[in-house]
């Protein structure tokens, strides 16, 4: 197929921008804010794109939107195309070209541990751009193909170089205002986290106290559970290294000196088979120096 024929299938760039932003942010309003357009404009552009493609890309929900099967299949191709164009533009036309190191990391780690330390990295080397790719599912690592990756687990992964950034030390915490309602914190509402992490039953056994009531709130995201605890909704079994700032500010208070140590933690990793530049090595060494 010649180029002119192929390009006839290309929708307007503005429509694709609206689709990519809405898919990534899970909402038309947030997409409009990011793109500097009105919500009505973004909604209409996505409608136009759906008509052009002959397929719905989103389920419109009472709150936000959700990708359809076709939308989910289309999104990585659109995102990849934008990344290629953006990278080419940066590399060819940037007035102050800086080398980029990409780090793929879970949201919880970037928000609580890495982000507060990034100003120090910039001070150490102002020649670098750091691109942060947030990971919500294991499959996201494959899509990002980052220079460095941060994984949660026991570190038993063959074929990769790794270094422990944050060990997992768990202890119960809550908002000070919640503790004022009942000085027996074991009777307060419990916040639970889904997934493979150690949980309340392990901590209670270590602390030699009776099992607590089942969680009133359960999350698949550490950040959401943490915000719920800060809001005073319940008691959370938190990773102490990730809540240092909240403890220092007084947003949360520790409820026990007992700490559950696990074999899991957040590890900085990289593929041994991929060549590493001096810039990647520098970021690698700096990050391990923060642990």
Residue segments in the chain with a per-residue pLDDT below the cut of 50:
none
pLDDT of residue 244: 92
User: Which domain, by its residues, includes 247?
Assistant: 169-260
The pLDDT of residue 196 is 59
Over the stretch 225-240, which tens digit does the pLDDT of each residue have? 999 999 999 999 999 9
DSSP summary character for residue 112: I
Count the alpha carbons within 13 Å of 142 in the hemisphere toward its beta carbon. Answer: 4
> Which of 73, 92, 111 is the endpoint of a domain?
92
- Is residue 35 located within the same domain as residue 158? no
Same domain, 190 and 228: yes
- Token pair 């990756």 in the structure block, residue: 149
**Whether 181 and 161 share a structural domain:** no
228 SS3 class:
helix
Cross-strand partners of 149: 104, 269
Query: C-alpha distances in angstroms, 15 versus 18, 40, 46, 113, 180?
Result: 5, 13, 6, 36, 52
Same-domain pairing of 160 and 269: yes
Mark whether 161 and 269 lie in a shared domain. yes
Which pLDDT belongs to residue 193? Answer: 86
pLDDT at 70: 94
Q: Are residues 43 and 177 in the same domain?
A: no
Domain count, the chain: 3
- As given in the structure block, the two tokens for residue 68 are 């359809």
Tokens of 127: 């020649």
- Both 195 and 137 in a single domain? no
pLDDT at 75: 94
Per-residue pLDDT tens digits for 74-107: 999 999 999 999 888 877 776 555 678 889 998 8
Between CA 118 and CA 82 the distance in angstroms is 26
Which residues does 60 contact at the CB level (< 8 Å), separation at least 6?
Answer: none
146 and 66 share one domain:
no
Q: Read off the CATH number of the domain in which 77 is found.
A: 1.10.10.10
- The closest of 165, 132, 126 to 146, measured between CA atoms, is 132
What pTM value is reported for the model? 0.61
Beta bridge partners of 102: 131
What CATH number does residue 198 fall under? 3.40.190.10
Q: Do 277 and 153 belong together in one domain? A: yes
- 87 & 202 share domain: no
pLDDT of residue 61: 87
The pLDDT assigned to 124 comes to 65
């Amino acid at each position: 197929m010649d180029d002119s024929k192929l390009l006839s299938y290309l929708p307007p760039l503005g429509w694709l921008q609206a689709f990519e932003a809405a898919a990534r942010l899970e909402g038309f309003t947030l997409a409009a804010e990011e793109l500097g357009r009105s919500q009505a404009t973004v909604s209409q552009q996505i409608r136009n794109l759906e008509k052009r493609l002959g397929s719905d890309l989103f389920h419109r929900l009472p709150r936000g939107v959700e990708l359809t099967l076709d939308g989910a299949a289309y999104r990585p191709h659109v995102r990849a195309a934008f990344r290629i164009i953006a990278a080419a533009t940066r590399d060819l036309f940037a007035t102050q070209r800086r080398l980029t190191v990409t780090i793929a990391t879970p949201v919880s780690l970037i928000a609580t541990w890495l982000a507060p330390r990034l100003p120090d990295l910039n001070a150490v080397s102002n020649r670098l751009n750091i691109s942060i790719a947030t990971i919500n599912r294991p499959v996201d690592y494959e899509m990002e193909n980052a220079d460095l990756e941060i994984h949660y687990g026991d570190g038993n992964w063959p074929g990769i170089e790794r270094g422990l950034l944050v060990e997992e030390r768990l202890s119960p915490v809550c908002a000070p205002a919640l503790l004022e309602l009942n000085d027996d914190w074991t009777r307060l509402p419990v916040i639970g986290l889904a997934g493979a992490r150690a949980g309340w039953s392990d901590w209670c056994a270590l602390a030699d106290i009776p099992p607590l009531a089942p969680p009133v709130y359960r999350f698949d995201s550490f950040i959401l559970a943490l915000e719920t605890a800060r809001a005073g909704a319940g008691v959370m079994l938190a990773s102490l290294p990730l809540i240092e700032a909240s403890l220092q500010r007084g947003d949360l208070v520790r409820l026990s000196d007992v700490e559950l140590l696990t074999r899991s933690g957040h590890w900085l990793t990289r593929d041994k088979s991929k060549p590493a530049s001096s810039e990647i090595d520098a970021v690698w060494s700096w990050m391990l120096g923060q642990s």
